[in-house]
Amino acid sequence: MKELRTTTSMEKQKNLIAIIGPKGGVGKTSISANLAIALSRMGKKVVAVDLDLGASNLHAVFGIRDSKYSLDDFVQNRVKKLSDIIVDTGLKNLGIIRGGDVPGITNMQYQKKMKLVRHLLGLDFDLVILDLAAGVSHDVVDFAIIAKKTLLITTPEVPSLLNAYSFIKVAVFRRLTFFFKYKKCPDILELLERAKDFENYPLLKTMEGFFREAREINADVTDSAKKILSGITPFLVVNRVRTGKDANTGKVIQGLMQNYLGIKSSELMTIREDIAVEKAIARMKPVMTETPHSPFSRDIEQIALKLCE
């Protein structure tokens, strides 16, 4: 995957913001849609792209029931340019790209994936919001890797928190795999594989331990890899917060990322539980347009402000 490695090591990140919800049902798509609205209201020219390639529903949040084209048409070469399938939301400064619903499209061929990456990077917008699928598939991780900023969405429940940590762990290992392959370091790659089996290789249980061993093989390459990881600073967003205890659950993930992966979360933010979300979804309307002063909308605005700092 030389091209992906090259892309992710250069200007790669540009204006992309990836919204990640490793566990389904955490409110990722609602957050993506309403965050896009909040950013557009700040004067940013925004397009939200539904990259849930097998079960898209971002368009439904905006009340869009149908459109002439979807991402299927671009991926399957029925449309040449990604910009040609942007749908007008009726909101100032904001368009969307509908996702795909073709079985099997979630396992995209490498050439098609790279074509999509190039076109995403080429979109003429201030910000491109990527609403990614749930799970930790290679497609999801790869799209997250190319983004300038990532929002990792979780809820206070333990399974959701663990899925969030697992996603970051998979992303770290995949990013390092790309890098060490690019640098032609098979011995370090073998060490990285052993690090996945930390029960049998306890010295490799943490990234600090892995890098210590890797430096014995090639110190210069290892130090470069550490710099790459220092650039992974996801925003951690805890959704559906009801209590102060709920709000603090994100600190558990921050601690795990710091202690085991050497990753610092740049921000920990929360979104309050709000009945307005359920009502807006039932009406196929964004919360930001239906109840702009609701707790959910105000919290989304705060996240938008942070992203623009």
Average pLDDT, the chain: 91
Q: Which domains does the chain have, with CATH numbers?
A: 2-307 (3.40.50.300)
For CA atoms 282, 288, 292, 294, the dihedral sign is positive
Least confident of 48-57, 127-136, 230-239, 272-281: 48-57
pLDDT at 300 over 50: yes
> What is the arithmetic mean of pLDDT over 172-185?
96
Q: Give percent of the chain above pLDDT 70.
A: 93
- Which tens digit of pLDDT belongs to each residue from 206-243? 999 999 999 999 999 999 999 988 888 899 999 999 99
> What is the arithmetic mean of pLDDT over 37-49?
98
Would you state the pLDDT for residue 3? 42
Give the global pTM: 0.92
pLDDT at 103 over 70: no
Euclidean distance between CA atoms 88 and 18, whole angstroms: 21
pLDDT band for position 13 (50/70/90)?
Answer: low
For residues 87 and 33, the answer to whether their CB atoms sit within 8 Å is: no
